[in-house]
Amino acid sequence: MAPHANDSVGGATGIALESHSRASKSFTVNSPNVVYTPENVQAKYTYRTTSVDFTDGQYTATPKETVYDFKTERNVGKVGVMLVGWGGNNGSTVTAGIIANRRKLEWETKEGPRAANYYGSVVMSSTVKLGEDSRTGKDVNIPLQTLLPMVHPNDLVIGGWDISKMDIASAMDRAQVLEPTLKSLVRKEMAHMVPLPSIYYPDFIAANQEGRADNVVQGSKASLEHVEHLRKDIRDFKSANGLDRVIILWTANTERYADIIPGVNDTAENLMRAIKDGHEEVSPSTVFAVASILEKTPFINGSPQNTFVPGCIQLAEQHSTFIGGDDFKSGQTKMKSALVDFMINAGIKLTSIASYNHLGNNDGRNLSEQKQFRSKEISKSNVVDDMVAANHVLYKEGEHPDHCVVIKYMPAVGDNKRALDEYYAEIFLGGHQTISLFNVCEDSLLASPLIIDLVLISDLFTRISWRKTGEEEWKKFHAVLSVLSYMLKAPLTPPGTPVVNALAKQRSALVNVMRACVGLVPEGDMGLEQKLF
């Protein structure tokens, strides 16, 4: 069945895709701690941790147990996503990808036929271990998407904003990401999609973006009028498309960092006053975040700037609205967070990491200005910090590998980013090891599945509640949704909590929280039943 388009208020077009029938096998948990009702899955889960004290030069480890109840709503409902920067490379690519998957499209390329898929999405294309087969003892693996009731991306309603008024089909041509044969198959639907006008504060993005800014809301600095305008856009989109929930995701240009100024953006109250006063250090992305929070709509930042200033985080906490970020972790940095974790855990002392990349898409053009590059440099540079800090055998206090990040704009390569990395390490008895990687990746085809993951997981957690056993009141997870960290370069965590960048830990955390919601123990590879046979 073909998708159909619905015009939402304000000129944006939402594509409402009919319900997708899943072919994957479902499962149930046979346990007195898990209860299924038509409305919910409810599980009692014992969380085991180890508390450590250090006195008189001695560590004392004490096992701890806390019993939680988790409740997950089974009715997924109708979900929409509004992309800020819908007309960019990522926005047009993910839109075309969802249409292609819903219609099960196939197309010809110079390398032969290709078919739509969701490769690169951890939710849609990865599996998790459910347990061991009761007869053979072999692992039973299931798609991650079947662990809990999740919206299927084919069912998402898509809309959004852009500073360019170009329709999404034309934006897809401008991006030069997809094969012409695929573009011809999705063009009809996408030609009817026109982004809503966005807010545009020239000081926050590169001057070379000014030529695109022909679809903007009046005013060049923050204002309460802008907040209310965006809130109305969200409400209108939700109403026009009959949605139960909306997720907002920033995939627009990288902004410069906003200065953190006491009395301006350090508290929720001060931030709202700063917006009212039109303070020059309130960025467009922060205004979008504030509007989303006030509408109790999750907001995810896929770019590296510091959208979530302290006042914005506090506002999200006050309104119990999910926020997550920052910066899609797709190619070079994902490799780095995996390789550095492996090397340090193997007892190899990295002493130098040199990262260079060049790209020719509009992201690269925007990053060619120093203030915007600095935002990206920070998000890419901090990715190894927690892994280094975890190994005090290799690294003494204050010691850290040299780490350099360089990005250059090279128009000729378009969306095909070239990334070169050199890892220089000290090994046994003063020896050295050098690892060099050359990574060619189609940037938007890696980032688009991350957008899908971030939307699907964010929506899932809007339907999960928890409480300690014995309590009456159900609660939501903390407003800062740190389970999204697997998809992000610079993961946002609740104030005062540690940042985890190690890729394996991030995925494990996501999977094990989902397992807890159905009363299953954490995924483990101890395999005692095999080793003690």
Cα torsion angle, 387, 389, 393, 394, sign: positive
203 catalytic? Reply is no
Strand, coil or helix: 404: strand
489 catalytic? Reply is yes
Structure token pair of residue 300? 């995810």
* C-beta of residue 265 within 8 angstroms of C-beta of residue 281: yes
Residues 6 or more apart whose Cβ sits within 8 Å of residue 515: 128, 147, 521, 522, 523
Of the listed 165, 238, 334, 417, which one is catalytic? 417
* C-beta of residue 101 within 8 angstroms of C-beta of residue 178: no
* C-beta of residue 252 within 8 angstroms of C-beta of residue 85: yes
Listing DSSP states for 41-88 in one string gives EEEEEEEEEEEEEEETTEEEEEEEEEEEEEEEE-----EEEEEETTTS
For residues 163 and 362, give the distance between their C-alpha atoms in angstroms, rounded to a whole number.
Answer: 13
Cα first-last separation, the chain: 53
Of the listed 327, 363, 415, 453, which one is catalytic? 327
Of the listed 71, 183, 221, 376, which one is catalytic? 376
Beta pairing class for 245-250 and 79-84: parallel
Beta pairing class for 416-426 and 432-442: antiparallel
221 catalytic? Reply is no
For residues 413 and 404, give the distance between their C-alpha atoms in angstroms, rounded to a whole number.
Answer: 23
Identify the bridge partners of residue 407 per DSSP, sorted by sequence position: 357
Best CA proximity match to 329, nearest among 533, 492, 161, 118: 492
Structure token pair of residue 257? 């960092």
Cα torsion angle, 480, 486, 487, 490, sign: positive
376 catalytic? Reply is yes
Strand, coil or helix: 475: strand
Best CA proximity match to 417, nearest among 488, 339, 330: 330
Please give the distance of CA 339 from its chain centroid, rounded to a whole number.
21
Which residues form the catalytic set?
Answer: 327, 376, 417, 489
